[in-house]
Chains A and B, each alone.
Chain A
């Protein structure tokens, strides 16, 4: 347990020491999206009855930022340690696979939540009202960060070069987050893309998160919860197996 707590703390220290880059920068990026998109689109779109586009956009941006940063936290920490070689200091101690995974995961969730809270603070005054269901908001924030944090652990273990990790990030994570209904309601999409969107786990993260704020969403929050819990559980199982077997960590 002490090993897990220490690694968790080390991971927090790691991103906190560069918090301009790891927290402030994504919050600013989200603010810029908010300024530009709400200015351009607020007159044209009303996603849900009684919800302005400006308000609709905010939870989407917050969840997108949480997802991207949770992924970035675990994946970049692992690949940096692998490339600089200091991962050896984590492989020599008697940490179990679950402790190792849990520490990276939890730190990724904390960074996700910190970024998400920052985004809500700076964009909330554009017109977001207090959530209808704060419990769902918190639950989806946690699960969304956990899913991407887990994926980050897997990507960080798998990648051998920064280039491979960048490919994972830019060709998988970015499209999944951008095409998940952050900027639009998928109900407005043509049937094919409407169906495709349902295969994207990030869609359920954002949809469930929005449900928490507005009490309405494209699908039931229980469905979103089920999809996310299943996906997170399956990926976490895979990640722990990889660590336990020493995949690309022990030779």
Chain B
């Protein structure tokens, strides 16, 4: 049974298509990243999972519970940290968490609330009014709110946007612990290195469509040709022209399908009596994959 099952989901607002026939599943225990530029449909998809909006077409199941027909069970299984920083100015941190527990039907939940406060570094702020907290602290409370009912599936919509480095680190340590304890994690983020270090599988959305869905390693491995930057003693031999991507600062940059191809390149240069003065191989990372895909490049 998948943790999240998204079946042919489309969402239209008038003539605008926010999601266009998106389907994928997330297995229990996965750490899954949902990437895409602003307006790609990430938040719309999360809203549909959480029941904050209804898909125009298609179905979504959380832990096998339909989010419309069986919304109570689906929502019990799901913890969402919304992107926008929101809070109730009438309440203290502890009140906020107690009320949130109660909405999920949990009357006596103080032991878990205390643990959440501790894990998120909020223990000494428990009785502070929400208004008195910094943005980063408010964000931590939102994470705690999403976890009060110990949901098996946790969705974080840009949880570290505008948050200081220290919190980002401690938050990820905590989320990793949850993942290790068996929780399924889905996150959207603008910090690609976060997706790269944390997630096993990555989906990319662009203009409401799913354009990639891969294991992280596969996406990194076969997506971008390695780039080799060479400083040569003479002009590039015509035999290698087809590999040239660009020239910069007196260097020529070649794109290689795989690193083994470098051997052929060097042999050709030797034959043509062109000397290699400097050589560097560009590392492939998620950022370059992402940028290429969003600019229309294919995998």
Contacts and interface: CB of A to CB of B under 8 A. Distances in A.
Verify that A and B bind, or say they do not. yes
Interface of A: 2-3, 5-7, 9-10, 13-14, 17-18, 81, 84-86, 88-96, 246, 250-251
A2 B90 contact: no
B136 to A, nearest CB: 18
Q: Which of A6, A81, A93 has the most CB of B within 10 A?
A: A93
B102 A2 contact: yes
Q: Which of B52, B72, B78, B87 has the most CB of A within 10 A?
A: B52
A90 B54 contact: no
A9 B102 contact: yes
A3 B103 CA distance: 4
A13 B94 CA distance: 14
Contact of B52 (A6, A95, A250): A250
Contact of A93 (B53, B90, B104): B104
A250 B54 contact: yes
Contact of B53 (A14, A95, A96, A251): A251
B105 A2 contact: yes
B90 A17 contact: yes
Nearest to A18: B90
A89 B90 CA distance: 14
B87 A250 contact: no
Contacts of B93: none
A2 B88 contact: no
Given A2-B105, A85-B86, A86-B86, A92 B99 contact: no
Contacts of A92: 50-52, 75, 78, 80, 146
B104 A3 contact: yes
B158 interface: no
Nearest to A7: B103
A9 B99 CA distance: 9
Contacts of B53: 250-251
A89 B103 contact: yes
A86 B99 contact: no
A13 B82 contact: no
Nearest to A15: B90
Given A2-B105, A2-B106, A3-B103, A13 B91 contact: yes
A13 B90 contact: yes
Contacts of A2: 102, 105-107
A186 to B, nearest CB: 40
